[in-house]
Amino acid sequence: MSHAPIDPIALTADLIRCPSVTPEEGGALQLLEKLLSGAGFDCTRVDRNGTPNLFARWGRPCANRTFGFNGHTDVVPVGDAAAWTRDPFCGEIHDGWLWGRGATDMKSGVAAFVAAAIDFVRNTPPDGAIILTITGDEEGPGKDGTVALLDWMKAKGEAMSVCLVGEPTSPERLGDMMKIGRRGSLTCFIEATGVQGHSAYPHRAKNPLHALVRLLDRLASHELDRGTDHFDASTLALTTIDCGNPAGNVIPARASARLNIRFNDAHSVASLSKWLRAEAAQVEAETGVKFTLTIDISGESFLTPPGDFTRLVAGSVKAETGLDPALSTSGGTSDARFVKDHCPVVEFGLVGKTMHQVDERVEVAQIGQLKAIYSRILTDYFN
């Protein structure tokens, strides 16, 4: 029985019309589950703590080789809806662009891979399996999304040999960049506790602001590194300093600050945490002001070294676009930081210029081209 090819543009539009603002499912995963089930994929909802997730597999469990895809259907809030040129969930095409929240990040990527995977298994059933892990929690806390899917897979004996994450990765033209790793990220909350007093008698107080500023200067002035083979230099950014003091003649008892470190593979959360606490202890000894540090971990840095899998993806991109994608580790975090503990992972997707913006939109032609790239990746992987 012959089947018409799945149209990734129409599927993207249908997904955009699902108002799946984190943590709402909005009907997006239901739509995908129905489509994939109808094409012979075994689908399971792996919801955890109210977070919606979908696992879909074509082929037998524990196959010799299994190609995995990871993506998300949740989107960030629209912001001021009145500032949009068109309804944020219209999914309409105007002047060659498909409009709506999630058009770029990343309902188009999910639609392109789903369309490629369904057409592929219908036309050339592979010797192996294809797994899709689609979460509704990438834009949220990230604790019960892809992590929940991977936990469930481990418990069920399901595994991916390699995984492609369909996040937008191309800065200017589709095909100009793919991600083979990401920097790690941690946020440090610092609270300084001193002794309140009158600003005219500073010797009777213990000013937490002076100590905090001294510590922050030490941290911000420190060169973490100069980059590594595949990563730029690590960065530390101060993001806020607060004391909530309304009086000009009072030395406050407490002050706080927050900083974020984006770090390469020369560091780990453990090594950076040790350094932060050592610096705080030094200033505490010098000033008598007590520091309390709370460290929130977004993820460790990781790298998929250039090799067979990266060459496979890069070769497929070049065959369809004529571009040699740069192998990059730039940008923020993605769910690839969780997948990397399961199997080799790379990221490739659309141009991301409008993601998270008012009037988010994607060039219609890019969606079809992305499906063609994903189709070639599947063909080359199994053949």
Catalytic hit among 14, 25, 33, 74: 74
Residue 351 and residue 174 in contact, taking contact as beta carbons nearer than 8 Å: yes
Tell how far CA 40 is from the center of its chain.
29
Is residue 286 part of the annotated active site? The answer reads no
Catalytic hit among 14, 33, 138, 279: 138
CA dist 57 and 42 (Å) reads 5
CA dist 348 and 338 (Å) reads 16
**DSSP class of residue 5?**
P
Torsion of CA 133, 136, 139, 144, to 10 degrees: -80
Residue 350, Cβ density class (10 Å: 0-12 exposed, 13-18 middle, ≥19 buried): buried
CA dist 177 and 19 (Å) reads 29
Residue type, 169: T
Residue 15 and residue 31 in contact, taking contact as beta carbons nearer than 8 Å: yes
**Within 13 A of 72's CA, how many CA atoms are on the CB side?**
31
Cα radius of gyration rounded to whole Å, the chain: 24
Assigned token pair, 104: 């770029």
Is residue 74 part of the annotated active site? The answer reads yes
CA dist 367 and 166 (Å) reads 12
Q: Scanning the structure block, which residue is given the tokens 């399996």?
A: 129
User: Which residues are annotated as catalytic?
Assistant: 74, 138
